[in-house]
Structure 1
Amino acid sequence: MDRLLLVAGVALALWALSCALMVLLAARLPNGLMKQVAEFLPSCVTTARTLRRSPLVPRRAKVALLVAVLWVVSPIDLLPEFLPVIGPLDDVVAVILLLRYAARSIPRETLLAAWPTDPRLLERLLGRDRVSSTR
């Protein structure tokens, strides 16, 4: 039993260390597409949490945003996370689809104000016509 706890503790420490290392390395990326990709899911979660508190966002959009956040934090995935490259793909696709759905009914200014990083990625994600159509 002690050996199992030791192995679990070492595994947890290595996981936490690798997460911290990834955050540090992602912060050092130069501005551009790679940095935007690294910031994508955290930006989506932050945006969804911000928009869920906004009175300007309709209920159906808030439900879609809640589902997006729950999808990202859920340990159950269509594709296991340990698969290289395609592991987080189901999270990304689900978040994009849910964010696009919610964005149809959210005012452009509210959506852009909630996006914590470069708004060009959000415009690329939604399509310029969709972001501009809420003016």
Structure 2
Amino acid sequence: MDVLIGVAVGLLGLWLLLILCLFLLRPRGSALSQAVRLLPDVLRLVTRLGRDPGLPRSVRVRLWLLLGYLALPFDLVPDFIPVLGYADDVIVISWVLRSVIRAAGPEVVAAHWPGTPEGLAVVRRLTRT
């Protein structure tokens, strides 16, 4: 019984540490609201990139795993928690897109981008590329 309590406390501690990291890494200012508004374009981008046979398989697998994560009915941080609820999704999307841009190149992402040039600029700012 003590082992189960220890495991539960350890998992809770790890989750709280993750919440703290998300809070510290969350987009500042209007970047979070801009990113949430871009979500439909980003989802189309991820789907288009995931279907591109010219990309390495590892990149496409990351993209499909991202879509799977976003489709799950639960998140690392529930969406009803102010700021952090959507910040975890934005951070996970940013991490995956940053790795995709580094592997495939920014011109491939720009070629698949379905939105406006301003939206692509926000994506580049969020992914720091």
Corresponding residue for residue 54 of structure 1: 52
Amino acid at match of 2:122: L
Per-residue CA shift, 1:44-98, capped at 9, x if unaligned? 2111100111122111111111111111111121111111222122111111111
**Which one scores higher on RCO, CA 8 angstroms, separation ≥ 6?**
2
Question: Structure 1 residues 34 and 92, CA, compared in 2 at 3 Å: closer, same or farther?
Answer: closer
| Equivalent residue, structure 1, for 2:123 | 122
Structure number, greater radius of gyration: 1
Say whether 1:98 aligns with 2:99. no
Structure 2: 5+ residue stretches without partners? 1-29
Taking the aligned partners of 2:47 and 2:80, their CA distance within structure 1 comes to 26
| Gapped regions of structure 1 (runs ≥ 5) | 1-31, 131-135
**Native 8 Å contact 2:95 2:127 kept in 1:** no
- The 1:116–1:91 alpha-carbon spacing in structure 2 relative to 1, beyond 3 Å, is same
Q: Is the Cα–Cα contact under 8 Å of residues 50 and 60 in structure 2 kept in the other structure?
A: yes
Runs of 4+ in 1 over 3 A off after TM superposition: 32-36
Q: Quick one: which amino acid aligns to residue 126 of structure 1?
A: T
State the AA in 1 paired with 2:41: S
1:6-85 equivalences in 2 (<5 Å): 36-85=34-83
Instruction: Specify the code of the residue in structure 2 equivalent to 1:43.
Output: D
Take 2:32 and 2:79, find their aligned partners in 1: how far apart are those partners?
20
Question: What is the CA RMSD across the aligned residues, in angstroms?
Answer: 2.1
Aligned residue for 2:84, secondary structure, equals coil
TM-score, normalization by structure 1 = 0.62
**AA paired with 1:113?**
A
**TM-score normalized by structure 2?**
0.64
